[in-house]
Structures are given as structure tokens and as C-alpha cells.
Amino acid sequence: MTRSADIDFTFNGSIDVSVTLHALLAAGVRPSGADEVAYVIDEDGMFDWQRSAASGLDEVISRMADTRWTDRVVGVTLLFPEVDCGGDFLFHPGRTSLSCVINVNPKYLPDSSRFCDIGWYLERLVPLLDPLGLSEIETRDSP
């Protein structure tokens, strides 16, 4: 049975998809593949993930940030710079919450093959998201 680990971030107000993603990218977080970026603009509730050339990342971010998608989930798969792990960053309708679904080579607690090292992810994400009006964090690691 596969475990699921995720972190939900809630903000005082709406966050800008473009500003948030550029803050993550400036910190060294990168698209999931060297030659591609995986993303979703959930137009119809089917979560149909798309792939685009990594060279088109700015265009993907611009599309995701378009105000016509404010009431839809948009997301992108990103990896952390120092390791080959990461996950899906999902912006929820209204843009007052963001989820990090840790599903790409999760980093586990030392001496554990079962629990995700959620603290490791928080150390990297909270300093980037706090200036955007971060107000609440909820974490889960469950079967």
C-alpha cells in the first residue's frame, strides 16, 4: 500500500500563481524533467495533466496565472534543487490555498522507510511562502 504525504498552505488572501511560482523557481526549485514541465489546468474536473517543453515554462506559468482559471485548480510538478524529490504544487480555487502533494521520490525520515520527512519540506517552503501572507499549515502522512 502506498502512503500519501502532503502539505496544505493557507493564506490571508489570494496569492498570485505567477509570483508564487517565480519565488519557488528563484530558490532553485525546478520543473519535473530536464526537458519538460508537467502541469494541469483543471478545466473540466478531470485533472488531465499536460506536458510542455521546459523552454515553455514561462508560457505555462502565464497560462496558469490567467484570471479565467481563478475558480479552477491549476498545478505544476516541481523538484527541489539539492535532491531529486518533489511533487505537485496545486493552487486551489480562490487562490487562498496551495497544496504540495509529495509524490516524486519522497524524502523519508532518517532510519525510516515509511514516514516522509515533512519537516525537510517545511524548512524549504515556509520561508518562501511566509512573505505571501501564510496563515496556516496542515500536514498529512497517511496510508
Phi, psi of 120 (to 5 degrees): -60, -45
**How remote is the C-alpha of 102 from its chain's centroid?**
8
Confidence at residue 41, expressed as pLDDT on a 0 to 100 scale: 97
User: Looking at the 3D structure of the chain, how many domains does it have?
Assistant: 1
pLDDT at 1 over 70: no
Instruction: Give the domain range for residue 73.
Output: 4-142
Confidence of residue 102 (pLDDT cuts 50, 70, 90): very high
pTM for this model (two decimals): 0.94
Answer yes or no: is pLDDT of 33 > 90: no
Segment 42-101, tens digit of pLDDT: 998 899 999 999 899 999 999 999 999 999 999 999 999 888 899 999 999 999 999 999
Residue 72 DSSP code: S
